[in-house]
Amino acid sequence: MEACRHELTLSADDFATSTIQVLEQGDSVIGFYALEPLRPEQHELTMLFVDPEYISQGHGRTLLHHAMQQANAAGATSLVIQSDPNAAPFYESRGARKLGERPSASIPGRTLPLLLLPLTGTEEK
């Protein structure tokens, strides 16, 4: 996690150029996502993070579904997702397919799956 701190830290520019959604429980942030338009028909889910203590409780699904709705409402027909390798099966279970890989910005020599998620609707799977 420490190696990825910079990559997972939102900047003022991120808030100006992206749609940011935070998921809170009580006074704690337990997850968030950042969604950025690439083109009118395609957005990129640049971040989706759930605190490890809250994984497998449906929070990632809730955040992804919300991001899909936001992108769809803006006219996008697909989401590009750079995924952690351990999270790729989650996105694939939602209909994403692998496009290729991108080098990690945090860990030299590591590659991350690059996925495409069609937005044929925003129904939850």
Summarize pLDDT for 43-92 with one digit per residue, the tens: 999 999 999 999 999 999 999 999 999 999 999 999 999 998 999 999 99
Average pLDDT for residues 1-12, to the nearest whole number?
Answer: 59
Domains of the chain (ranges plus CATH)?
2-6+17-118 (3.40.630.30)
Three-class SS state of 113? strand
Token pair recorded at residue 116: 């495409």
Here the tokens at position 38 are 């690439």
Tell me the whole-structure pTM to 2 decimals.
0.83
Q: What is the pLDDT of residue 45?
A: 95
The residue ranking higher by pLDDT, 106 or 110, is: 110
Higher pLDDT, 15 or 51: 51
